[in-house]
Amino acid sequence: MTKYILAFDQGTTSSRSIIFDRNGNIVTVAQKEITQIFPQPGWVEHDADEIWSSQIGVANEALARISLKTSDIAAIGISNQRETTIIWDRKTGKPLYNAIVWQDRRTAADCDELKASGYETIFQHKAGLVIDAYFSGTKLKWLLDHIPNARSQAERGELAFGTVDSWLIWKLTQGELHITDVTNASRTLLFNIHTQQWDDELLSILDIPRYLLPQVQSSSQVYGYTSEGLFGSRIPIAGIAGDQQAATFGQVSLQSGMAKNTYGTGCFIVLNTGNKLTLSNHKLLTTIAWRINGRTDYALEGSIFIAGAVVQWLRDGLGIIKHSAEVESLAGSVPNNGGVYFVPAFVGLGAPYWDSYARGTIMGLSRGSTSGHIARAALESIAYQTADVIDAMRQDSQLDLFELRVDGGASGNDLLMQFQADILGVPIVRPKITETTALGAAYLAGLAVGYWESEAEITSQWQAEKWFEPTISHDHRLTLLDSWHQAIAQTRHR
């Protein structure tokens, strides 16, 4: 009988379940938004119980939509919002506090103290990360320091910590499994990416008891089975990856030098560096891409804070478009940017600048500038920021990028994708299936249970929907980039 793979795609704004067939095609999708909780400025939380209830709810909804029995599901793969931190009671399974979301900035001052104490080099060399409130380690420390009795409970081994993948698997197995995979572990500030173990020195610096931590597993293996009665029959849980690593795997960027960019509110660019662990000189993140059959692939990652959000600002802040989809036609109403450059540093600049004090700037305005020029400059800013990260990746890795695979909402904008190809000087490739995060989780699970035989088989399934080839000269590209970097220099905090 034909079987399917069930992918959990637990994201920041919603929980989704997608069922895939043997050809990697989507059979059905179910989705439910989750509540965003903002207790104070800069704080972002989720209800961990709602994460679970929404995710199991959409899984059952997806199965019901096409009348599948659980015996029709070969395995479950899980992709999750990374860095989001949950702590719960091992005996009752109840969270002690809301999940602290990756976007949360409450530990920024703690991170400043760690940097002032000279710990930056230790964390970069061991964890591959910059010290930032983005990651799980300081969030976990905050929970232990602020929940009454939590630290003493943790030291007695009564509590469990996990990122969202760990929490879902705990619930799926009714506490039988307390695990994570290497991709999620590598985003905690607590994991040594060289030894692939929790690191005693990093745990000591952050004062985290080892008893809290999940067991770290590969990204593709049979970890265990869903508990009796949850779905009707037990289903293998066989794949785990944080969302950006899952998307990279779903894009089948499996060789060193292959890269993907997800164009969402921000951008997440991941470059596969193969078995070479490359520490960055440009404040990029070194992370584990995945571990499969004992082989670990590494990656460099760069995050851009404002990408699609600049289009939302054109709509909501400036009011020059009514709907986000209108930006392409408005930007296309002019042949070029007319000398206008837009640096959308609304919340500072991310990689490779990491300037939290920079603020947005529009430069080069003249009496001839129109809303079309501003819209075009806004779209081009997404491509320029991507080019800056890719250039840093090239310098750090000494790898030549031969194409960039793209996904996310803004990847559907042909004008942006063509300009991205022009400014990078390499082809941009948009796949037929853009649900790459869920697809990556499905592939990881399917490989573990033999649903797909090999990485070569899934590579053969990947299909391009459209290619965008560079159309401008090398000299023209350098001239444009020089003007962009002048705009960046004017934007930077002095």
| Residue 409 assigned ligand-binding role | yes
| Residue 134 assigned ligand-binding role | yes
Helices within 79-196 (DSSP H only) = 108-116, 120-127, 136-146, 150-155, 164-172, 182-185
SS3 138: helix
Residue 321 CA, distance from chain mean position: 29
| Residue 31 assigned ligand-binding role | no
| Residue 16 assigned ligand-binding role | yes
Stretch (H or E) spanning 404: strand 404-407
| Residue 407 assigned ligand-binding role | no
| Residue 265 assigned ligand-binding role | yes
| Residue 13 assigned ligand-binding role | yes
> Locate tokens 């996904």: which residue?
407
Neighbours of 174 (CB within 10 A): 13
| Residue 184 assigned ligand-binding role | no
Query: 342 near 381, Cβ under 8 Å?
Result: yes
Alpha-carbon span 247 to 438, nearest angstrom: 7
Q: 129-167 in b/e burial notation, b at 16+ Cβ within 10 A?
A: bbbbbbbbbbbbbbbbeeeeebbebbeeebbbbbbbbbb
Per-residue pLDDT of the chain (494 residues; tens, 9 = 90+): 569 999 999 988 889 999 999 999 999 999 998 888 889 877 889 999 999 999 999 999 999 988 888 888 999 999 999 999 999 999 999 999 999 988 888 888 898 899 999 999 999 999 999 888 889 999 999 999 999 999 999 999 999 999 999 999 999 999 999 999 999 999 999 999 999 999 999 999 999 999 999 999 999 999 999 998 888 789 999 999 999 999 999 999 998 989 999 988 788 899 999 998 999 888 899 999 999 999 999 999 998 888 888 888 899 888 988 888 888 999 999 999 999 999 998 877 888 887 777 788 999 999 999 999 999 999 999 999 999 999 999 999 888 888 999 988 888 899 999 999 999 999 999 998 888 999 999 999 999 999 999 999 999 988 899 999 999 999 999 999 999 999 999 888 65
Contacts of residue 42, Cβ cutoff 8 Å, sequence gap at least 6: 104, 105, 106, 108
| Residue 10 assigned ligand-binding role | no
| Residue 413 assigned ligand-binding role | yes
Q: Give the global pTM.
A: 0.87
Burial class (CB in 10 A: 0-12, 13-18, 19+), 323: exposed
Phi/psi for 204 (5° steps) reads: -65, -45
